[in-house]
Structure 1
Amino acid sequence: MSGIEQRAGRPAPGLRRITLPVLFASVVVVTIDISMTSTALPAIAQGLGVAPATTIWIVNIYYLAVVAGLLPSAAMGEIFGHERVFTAGLAIFAAGALIAGLADSLEMLIAGRAVLGIGAAATSATTPALIRALYPPDRMGRGLGLYAMIVGVSITAGPTATSAILAAADWPWLFLQAAATSAVATVICHRTLPAVERSARAFDGIAAALCAAMFSCLLFAIAGAAHLGAGPALAALGAAAVLAVALRRREAGRPAPLLAADLFKAPLFALSSATAIVAFSVQGLSFVVLPFLLHYELGFSQVQTGLLIMPWPAALVVMSVIAPRLSERVPPGLLGGFGLAVLGAGLALLSTIEPGAGPVDIGWRLVICGIGFGFFQSPNMLAIMSSAPRERSGGAGGILATSRLLGQSVGAAAVALCLAVSPERGVHVALWLGVGAALVGACVSLTRLIPAVRRA
């Protein structure tokens, strides 16, 4: 046996106790970055002396870099080793955060965010595959449940963490602390992450470029629909369609295509991915619209708004313990359908809040939302990862991360569109749009219970 094959197993329990905390700590640093940066845009604009509207590119360039790099990174993980790509991604993330933290101009900050996004793509695409390698098959659901909880909590904790850092330091420390943390994690991961079985196929750089350009155009079309109007959005969507055709032809007949189209032949994988896109669009919509609801309509301060959102991730923490155990006995289609219906009910209740409502009135509604999303998230992750062959864990992880990012982007764009069309009622229109999307996601999830789908 080769050295790689000998190491391509799960680490000893003692090593796992070191590896898993570092792996999940890295996930926190990477995931919390985007919500922290979005919250800090006014402070960044003031610090750099630029118009607040121009700082949107700090967020947009990050999303474009991440979505462009996800599936190529997943393919590189299968070929060169998920542990290598994850560690390299952390190092790139640290470099990008350092550039951003030292930036003295908007252009330099945007460049740092682009580098940072490439690193985030590499870590996000390979994390599910590493969890699959680190956990025994009968406990993989619990590992993915913990990952789901960490992602959800990190996203929602961003505004509160940003408020805490900005209360004690200037905005560059948002990035400098991330650079230091991810640099330390890079060293530890390099020494402790176990090697994972690799594919013998060659990496197709042309397919990777086509894939990256296609998803960049698609994301630009989604974001541009609200900010730039129909013309640029449709042009970008047309370019994405042309690139998709070119990518499809490039990879025709290949057993492991970069876009992982082979995995969508399994109905359970395809429906689970579709459910993820819809569910994360509801999550993305919710986390963008909640600050508008709490700050502008209900009159809470920015710090209070961050704290008031915390019941959602707190409920998600509890569900991260319950849902993975339930998924061992209850089909993910049923858990996801029930959870998204509960999430829709929570958003409907949020739309009934009136000025003068106290923290308790807001908190119990957000707890319902967190419980509903918790029923969906980790069982759906398990369904996606377990319905793919082990040697295609990288492709499945890439689709999982891409589904989350696309969904969140659609949700954020939907809020922007609602606010642009109806500034006075846009918040409530967006909430009810989230209710409708949650119910659609519930129906999609429940179709996984059809016997023919479960047998396929």
Structure 2
Amino acid sequence: MTSSTTQPPVVRRNLVVAAMLSATLMATIDASIVNVALPTLARDLDASASDTVWVTTAFLLAAACCIPATAALGDRIGRRRLFLVGLPVFAVASIACAAASTLGLLVAARVVQGIGSSLILAVPIPTYRHVFPPERLGSALGLNAMTVALGTSAGPTLGGLLLSVAPWPWLFLVNVPIAAVSFVLGLRHLPRVPARPGRFDASGSVLIAAAISCFLLGIRGVGATSTLPLSVALLVLAVVLVGFFVRHEARSANPVIPLGLFTRPFSLAVLTAACSFFGQGTAFVALPFLFQESFGDSALRSALLFTPWPLVIVVVAPLSGRAADRVSPRLLALIGLVVLAGGLLSLALLPDGASTVDILVRTGVCGLGFAVFQSPNNRDMMAAAPLRLAGSAAGVLNLNRTVSQSTGSGAVGVLFVIAGVATGSAAAHTHAVSLVLTVGAAVTAVGAVLAAVRLRGA
């Protein structure tokens, strides 16, 4: 295990996977586990409801802004070291969150927690490329996709269960034993892959972090009339900063995101993934409005109606990843996007008075399409990147997911304004959600077209 070409024994490889998946699950759950506790936090910390939203936003912003830097840093200092630093940072920040007596302290601790999350998530996918032979890579990425999907969707449910038996600090303290187990496994079994020589590109890291921050803050405020001018200014600034970043990276000897990574196959895989995450992001935000405002369901029933999506992903994603080792991953990606687009369109056309079974089937179809697409596309994306750029490719993959989902969420606000949802009537909400899901289906269909182009190019 002292070189990238030596495959570890099966038992040790499984222990590496256990360390990676447990840490990934912990980091992804924490992005949303606190959402259900925001009203409780507002009351206990004597803060307004709007201010407590920063408990979630601070984590997501910090994680997204640091993803490119941590991916590049892993190449410079070694991903094993990055993992063994990220876990204690995340655990200590979790303890600080639990001990916070004011909203300001909690938000500050969440920023540090988000940084720890980015350190952790920069490690798994490049590590899989070193410990799995090429013919098993799809299976490993399928497990990773399943874990990310489970963590992303299970956060609110797990948070609700914990709050029913314990006070809110336990939402954060539960991370400590998981981080400890992952740390021990990583310390003993993670491969010591040699670091790449060269200086860390601090200037490029700052530029891309500033661009991501401006974009995510801008996209979140586009839907509100009062914040529209500021949001537009932030989005324009984000574009300018991206231009400076690309110019800087073209001249850098050790770029944060090597521009040579963006070959035609890799770029097409990134774009198709962006379309799928956009479609998923619109549905994740719009469907609760449909279920609760239009159909009059409770928050709990709304969550249950959404359950087939993540459940199907958990079952199908590993199978899809395994299949990608045997058949064309590009064909599977195309099939998945077609199914996802069809599922989103079916939800957009959901009739009034639809039965529970009808709703569950349609959300399950969306989960099926996303699961069939995600693992093969990730495999194809990573296979298109040279092994020496695996860390950078994983950084692009993680960043693409965060930015595309946030763009989809922001699009919901804009489309709600266009649809006149401010009237507050059930009919207005139904029309708005139908519009949002139709746009999500259309963007996903564009991704299917790109996947077809990529398949034909093969």
- TM-score, normalized by length of structure 1? 0.92
Is residue 2:397 matched to residue 1:391?
no
Which of 45, 60, 70 lines up with 2:42 in the alignment?
45
Once residues 448 and 257 of structure 1 are traced to their aligned partners in structure 2, the CA distance between those partners, rounded to angstroms, is 27
Residues 335-344 or 365-374, more deviating: 335-344
Q: Kindly provide the CA deviation profile for residues 50-85 of structure 1, in whole angstroms up to 9, marking residues without a partner as x.
A: 221222222222222111100110001111111211
Cross-structure match for 1:132:
129
Once residues 43 and 107 of structure 1 are traced to their aligned partners in structure 2, the CA distance between those partners, rounded to angstroms, is 16
Which of 152, 171, 175 lines up with 1:155 in the alignment?
152
Is residue 2:307 matched to residue 1:301?
no
Cα pair 2:312 2:367 within 8 Å, conserved: yes
Is residue 2:20 matched to residue 1:16?
no
Once residues 144 and 198 of structure 2 are traced to their aligned partners in structure 1, the CA distance between those partners, rounded to angstroms, is 29
Is residue 2:105 matched to residue 1:108?
yes
Which of 249, 252, 255 lines up with 1:251 in the alignment?
249
Cross-structure match for 2:60:
63
Deviation at 1:305, TM superposition (A): 2.5
418 and 50 in structure 1: CA distance in 2 versus 1, 3 angstrom threshold = farther
Once residues 174 and 243 of structure 1 are traced to their aligned partners in structure 2, the CA distance between those partners, rounded to angstroms, is 36
Deviation at 1:15, TM superposition (A): 1.6
Deviation at 1:271, TM superposition (A): 0.6
Deviation at 1:231, TM superposition (A): 1.7
Cross-structure match for 2:449:
443
Once residues 200 and 432 of structure 1 are traced to their aligned partners in structure 2, the CA distance between those partners, rounded to angstroms, is 48
Which of 237, 240, 248 lines up with 2:238 in the alignment?
240
Partner-residue secondary structure (3-state), 2:250: coil
Once residues 255 and 374 of structure 1 are traced to their aligned partners in structure 2, the CA distance between those partners, rounded to angstroms, is 38
Cross-structure match for 2:186:
189
Is residue 2:373 matched to residue 1:376?
yes
Task: Count how many residue pairs are aligned between Structure 1 and Structure 2.
Answer: 448
Q: Any residues of structure 2 matched to 1:407-418 within 5 Å, and which? A: 407-418=404-415
Moved over 6 A (4+): none
Cross-structure match for 2:425:
none
Q: Any residues of structure 2 matched to 1:195-344 within 5 Å, and which? A: 195-227=192-224, 229-254=227-252, 256-264=254-262, 266-344=263-341
Deviation at 1:94, TM superposition (A): 1.4
130 and 211 in structure 1: CA distance in 2 versus 1, 3 angstrom threshold = same
Deviation at 1:317, TM superposition (A): 2.2
Once residues 11 and 324 of structure 2 are traced to their aligned partners in structure 1, the CA distance between those partners, rounded to angstroms, is 27
Cross-structure match for 2:95:
98
Residues 405-414 or 90-99, more deviating: 90-99
Partner-residue secondary structure (3-state), 2:50: helix
103 and 419 in structure 1: CA distance in 2 versus 1, 3 angstrom threshold = farther
Cross-structure match for 2:343:
346
Deviation at 1:183, TM superposition (A): 3.5
Once residues 47 and 10 of structure 1 are traced to their aligned partners in structure 2, the CA distance between those partners, rounded to angstroms, is 51
Deviation at 1:283, TM superposition (A): 1.3
Give 5+ residue unaligned stretches, structure 2.
Answer: 422-427
Deviation at 1:363, TM superposition (A): 1.3
Deviation at 1:8, TM superposition (A): 7.0
Once residues 381 and 27 of structure 1 are traced to their aligned partners in structure 2, the CA distance between those partners, rounded to angstroms, is 16
Cross-structure match for 2:433:
427
Cα pair 1:276 1:403 within 8 Å, conserved: yes
Once residues 417 and 7 of structure 1 are traced to their aligned partners in structure 2, the CA distance between those partners, rounded to angstroms, is 47
In the alignment, residue 373 of structure 1 is paired with which amino acid?
Answer: F
Give 5+ residue unaligned stretches, structure 1.
Answer: none
Deviation at 1:354, TM superposition (A): 4.7
Once residues 197 and 144 of structure 1 are traced to their aligned partners in structure 2, the CA distance between those partners, rounded to angstroms, is 22
Cα pair 2:249 2:258 within 8 Å, conserved: no
In the alignment, residue 335 of structure 2 is paired with which amino acid?
Answer: F
Q: Kindly provide the CA deviation profile for residues 2-25 of structure 1, in whole angstroms up to 9, marking residues without a partner as x.
A: xx9558743322222322112101
Residues 291-300 or 67-76, more deviating: 291-300
Cα pair 1:333 1:448 within 8 Å, conserved: yes
Once residues 327 and 76 of structure 1 are traced to their aligned partners in structure 2, the CA distance between those partners, rounded to angstroms, is 30
Deviation at 1:355, TM superposition (A): 5.5
Cα pair 2:139 2:325 within 8 Å, conserved: no
Cα pair 1:8 1:197 within 8 Å, conserved: no
Deviation at 1:100, TM superposition (A): 1.5
Cα pair 1:298 1:357 within 8 Å, conserved: no
In the alignment, residue 434 of structure 2 is paired with which amino acid?
Answer: H
Cα pair 1:211 1:259 within 8 Å, conserved: no
- Cα RMSD, aligned residues only: 2.1
Cα pair 2:32 2:56 within 8 Å, conserved: no
Cα pair 2:333 2:451 within 8 Å, conserved: yes
Cα pair 1:10 1:194 within 8 Å, conserved: no
In the alignment, residue 443 of structure 1 is paired with which amino acid?
Answer: V
- TM-score, normalized by length of structure 2? 0.92
Once residues 439 and 368 of structure 2 are traced to their aligned partners in structure 1, the CA distance between those partners, rounded to angstroms, is 20
Give the share of equivalent positions with the same residue, in percent.
Answer: 35
Deviation at 1:359, TM superposition (A): 3.2
Partner-residue secondary structure (3-state), 2:200: coil
In the alignment, residue 436 of structure 1 is paired with which amino acid?
Answer: A
